[in-house]
Amino acid sequence: MSNLADISLFLRVVDHKSISAAARSVGISPALASKRLQVLESNLGVRLLHRTTRKVSVTPEGLELALKGRHLVEDLETLTSDLKQVTKEVSGTLRITAGVSFGRVFISPLLPQFLQQHPKLKIQLNLSDETSNLIDSGYDLAIRISSSLESSGLVAKKIISNKRILAASPDYLGKYGSPKTLEELAQYNCLILASGQGREDFLQLMDQKGREHKVKVQGTLESNLGDALYQAALSGLGISLHSEWHIKEDLEQGRLCHVLPEFYKETSIYAVMPQRQFVPLRVRAFTQFIEQQLNKL
């Protein structure tokens, strides 16, 4: 059976793209690291790395080990660490991905407080409106806003409900008027979100009685970035659909106006993580922290 430490060393080579750098990260010599990797390959009966004098590259078999073995190594390390510690400490590196707007407005401002509570923790935050593959990208946690999450072998925990509403600038409504019915929305310039979850040119909205309504819309701008549509709406380009929290201040200050307030889109904010039996303590702690903070709003 291959030594867990040797598999962990191999994963460091994959991450650092260098045997020497991986060796330094664990405090051993490159020669010893190379020898341990050769033993690992011998035990497994496959070549994991192509080595030249200038670089190392990962073989297909090595990629498979990195993909399937990383979480096994992390799970076992987490388990043994938790069992050894009398007092558990949140430590290590927490890799998070979240949408740009939500990450900017809510996640980023909360990170200093969480890091102050857990001084042995490091955080890597990636903000993108594109849906990343958590396992392939090496993320511990994703914060996603969706009406429903497709089954993908991931664990999704609902944190809080999220209402999205229609809005436009006073200038746009002053020039073109405000739609009186949902059907009239098809005659206006609508700013369309086009992301990995699809194009929102066919809106499915709820009324105050919980009945669902559908309308086909069109417009001169579509983007995978919600902030781009937000800026366009502020500039008077058209009507767009935004999370209530995103435009709350703009509505209060009169920079945007609520359009067709009797209709909304019900979504939720989820904490999504790879489906593993042993969720790292850092992930559990941050998920609980975010849930507590959001429910204070």
**pLDDT > 70 fraction of the chain, expressed in percent and rounded:** 92
Domain 92-160+269-294 has CATH 3.40.190.10: yes
Q: Work out the burial of residue 87: count CB atoms within 10 Å of its CB; fewer than 13 is exposed, 13-18 middle, 19 or more buried.
A: exposed
For residues 138, 155, 81, 285, the Cα torsion angle rounded to the nearest 10 degrees is 100
Domains 4-68 and 92-160+269-294 share a fold: no
Over residues 34-58, the pLDDT tens digits come to 999 999 899 888 999 998 777 889 9
- In Å, the largest CA–CA distance within the chain is 75
Locus of tokens 């990343």:
132
Over residues 97-143, the pLDDT tens digits come to 999 989 998 999 999 999 999 999 999 999 988 877 777 778 899 99
Over residues 221-267, the pLDDT tens digits come to 999 888 999 999 999 999 999 999 999 999 999 999 999 999 999 99
* CA dist 184 → 108, 218, 221, 270 (Å): 38, 12, 19, 33
- From CA 194, how far away is CA 148, in angstroms rounded? 16
Q: What is the model's pLDDT at position 87? A: 43
The structural domains of the chain, with segments of one domain joined by +, span 4-68, 92-160+269-294, 162-268
Q: What is the model's pLDDT at position 234? A: 97
Residue 2 has pLDDT above 70, yes or no: no
Fold observed for domain 4-68? Arc Repressor Mutant, subunit A (1.10.10)
- CATH no., domain 162-268: 3.40.190.290
Query: Given the DSSP bridges, would you call strands 92-98 and 121-127 parallel, antiparallel or unpaired?
Result: parallel
Residue 19 has pLDDT above 60, yes or no: yes
CB-side exposure of 85: number of CA atoms within 13 Å?
12
